[in-house]
């Protein structure tokens, strides 16, 4: 994508695709910079921005995989637990009820 393609009709020269929240990080107005230098700057900025998006996606995938592995480990550990004794659970519930109902 060239710098010209990043500026649709009516978009500010320092924004990407007309998004006002994607302003290039500079205090220098585009009108004061020669067009070729501004386009070179935008090309570099856009390349860095795109690299950051790819890195962010990889980090998100890694973090999600870590969370999913931890969840899987919890499920496998729970599957290894012995089955609960329902009669003992019922008796414990009755004892709790008797204690707290007074």
Distance (Å) of CA 30 to CA 2, 25, 69: 16, 12, 48
Write the pLDDT tens digit of every residue in 46-81. 888 888 888 888 899 999 999 999 999 999 999 999
Higher pLDDT, 31 or 13: 31
Q: What is the pLDDT of residue 91?
A: 96
Mean pLDDT of the chain: 78
d(Cα 38, Cα 42) in Å, to the nearest integer?
Answer: 6
Higher pLDDT, 4 or 17: 17
DSSP symbol at 81: S
pTM for this structure? 0.42
Q: What is the pLDDT of residue 10?
A: 52
CA torsion angle 51 52 53 54 (round to 10): 50
Q: What is the pLDDT of residue 52?
A: 85
Least confident of 5-9, 60-64, 91-95: 5-9
Write the pLDDT tens digit of every residue in 31-48. 777 888 888 888 888 888
């Amino acid at each position: 994508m060239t710098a010209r393609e990043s500026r649709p009709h009516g978009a500010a020269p320092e924004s990407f695709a007309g998004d006002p929240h994607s302003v290039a990080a500079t205090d220098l107005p585009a009108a004061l910079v020669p067009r070729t230098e501004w386009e070179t700057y935008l090309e570099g900025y856009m390349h860095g921005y795109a690299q950051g998006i790819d890195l962010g996606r990889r980090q998100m995938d890694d973090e999600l995989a870590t969370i999913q592995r931890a969840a899987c480990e919890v499920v496998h550990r729970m599957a290894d637990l012995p089955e609960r004794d329902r009669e003992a659970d019922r008796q414990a519930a009755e004892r709790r009820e008797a204690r707290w109902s007074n």
